[in-house]
Amino acid sequence: MVSLAGGMPNIADLPREAIGAAISKLIAENGVQAMQYGSGQGEPFMRDKITEVMAEEQIAAHADDIVITCGSQQGLDLVTRVFCDPGDVILAEAPSYVGALGTFHANQCEVVHVAMDEHGIVPQMLRHAVHTLRAAGRKVKFLYTIPNFQNPTGVSQTLERRRELVALAHEVDLLILEDNPYGLLTLDEQPLPALRALDAEKVVYLGSFSKTFAPGFRVGWVLAPHAVREKLVLTQESATLCPPVFSQFAIAKYLDEFDWRGQILVFRDMYRARRDAMLEALPEHMPAGSQWTHPRGGFFVWLTLPEGLDSQAMLPRAVTARVAYTPGTAFYADGLGSRNMRLSFCFPTPERIIEGVKRLGEVIKAELVTRATFGIDVTPAQPIRRDLTVGPAPDVN
């Protein structure tokens, strides 16, 4: 089986022996503190280090405004709990990260998607959504957005689009929740400034060590304006007492004693080879009528099938052909996305990616033959969004 489905980072290139030795030393020298309860906001030395990491994306922040979380996933949950009541609306890109959609639903919020183009979420559509929802008496609590190498599309906001979005946040008085786990995994250019680097007032920022170091430590963070930060700490304490203390000691040691910036360059080279393998294999193996995005970083390509095909219905046939992907419907709160799939290039080797794309191409071609032969239209009768899913966007395919 070649799995192009999961989003697991490939951490095999980490210097594991040296990290193991450093952790042994940590236990010998600081074990009593490292294995003890800690601060609900997160350890001060860890928060200081995080300001250095965020400076790579031009964010100037104070360690006091950071709350450490159990991965950015917990950050999503804490922010939602602090801001939202049941029935509130959260705006999100169409499509958006499945884990965030789950958190928003668990907190009984309604997700309303806003169309994207090849530069990210479309400001005019965002303005329209905010006005329409408010006119209908709905409470719109924030825009959830992933500006860099978005999960699942791989699309990034240009600098101009970022500026437009923060200006719009002021114009319509809307909070932005910026989720940025992939920003440093840029493959073709230097990182662009985060939304939070452009505006400290309207942006709550989520960061994570899961993709730049390792997800098993479960350390992420929220950077929020002071008043919000205090509420986040209380919510964090009620959920976990404190974020994982041992992990914070281990990560701080890693950042102090290892060349973590150099390690990110190693990760970039490894992911670039995988991304390039996928983007070179797709035109060779996909039938006419397929489209896909060209990510400049991160883990994901978003593929649109030829008209009439359904990625969910096709999945069992793909698995029989020993290739897996994530159907597009997972990334929409409103059931759209049946013509789409997310392909991850992060985990398999380039050779396996090429083999996986070849198998997938064969499955799609067979599906087209079945459809032509039996006249079966396997796409459910529902509208297809005129955003990334269709249309002649210059950067798509």
Of 83 and 182, CB closest to ligand PMP = 182
Residue 61 beta carbon to ligand PMP: minimum distance, rounded to whole angstroms: 18
The tokens 């280090």 sit on which residue?
A: 49
DSSP 185-227: -BSSSPPPPPHHHH-SSSEEEEEESTTTT-GGG--EEEE--HH
Residue 206 beta carbon to ligand PMP: minimum distance, rounded to whole angstroms: 7
Q: Which two tokens stand for residue 252?
A: 């701080």
Of 101 and 168, CB closest to ligand PMP = 101
Tell me, what DSSP letter sits at residue 303?
A: E
User: Burial, 72: exposed, middle or buried (Cβ in 10 Å; 0-12, 13-18, 19+)?
Assistant: buried
Residue 246 beta carbon to ligand PMP: minimum distance, rounded to whole angstroms: 17
Q: Which two tokens stand for residue 61?
A: 């922040």
Chain position whose Cβ is nearest to ligand PMP: 71
Of 220 and 327, CB closest to ligand PMP = 220
Q: Are 143 and 126 in contact (CB under 8 A)?
A: yes
Of 180 and 291, CB closest to ligand PMP = 180
User: Burial, 273: exposed, middle or buried (Cβ in 10 Å; 0-12, 13-18, 19+)?
Assistant: middle
Of 210 and 290, CB closest to ligand PMP = 210
Residue 362 beta carbon to ligand PMP: minimum distance, rounded to whole angstroms: 29
Of 209 and 292, CB closest to ligand PMP = 209
Residue 215 beta carbon to ligand PMP: minimum distance, rounded to whole angstroms: 5
Q: Nearest-CA neighbor of 196 among 180, 208, 213?
A: 180
Q: Given the DSSP bridges, would you call strands 323-324 and 2-3 parallel, antiparallel or unpaired?
A: parallel
In degrees rounded to 5, what are phi and psi of residue 179? Answer: -110, 115
H helical segments located in 35-122: 44-55, 71-83, 98-106
Residue 72 beta carbon to ligand PMP: minimum distance, rounded to whole angstroms: 4
Of 215 and 327, CB closest to ligand PMP = 215
- Judged by the rule CB under 6 A, the positions of this chain that interact with ligand PMP are 7, 71-73, 97, 99, 146, 151, 179, 181, 208, 210, 215, 220
Of 7 and 327, CB closest to ligand PMP = 7
Q: Nearest-CA neighbor of 340 among 295, 297, 298, 293?
A: 293
Residue 68 beta carbon to ligand PMP: minimum distance, rounded to whole angstroms: 11
Of 271 and 286, CB closest to ligand PMP = 271
Q: Nearest-CA neighbor of 182 among 97, 109, 246?
A: 97
Residue 361 beta carbon to ligand PMP: minimum distance, rounded to whole angstroms: 26
Q: Are 116 and 122 in contact (CB under 8 A)?
A: yes
Residue 99 beta carbon to ligand PMP: minimum distance, rounded to whole angstroms: 6
Q: Considering Cα of 348, then 350, then 356, then 361, what sign does the dihedral take? A: positive
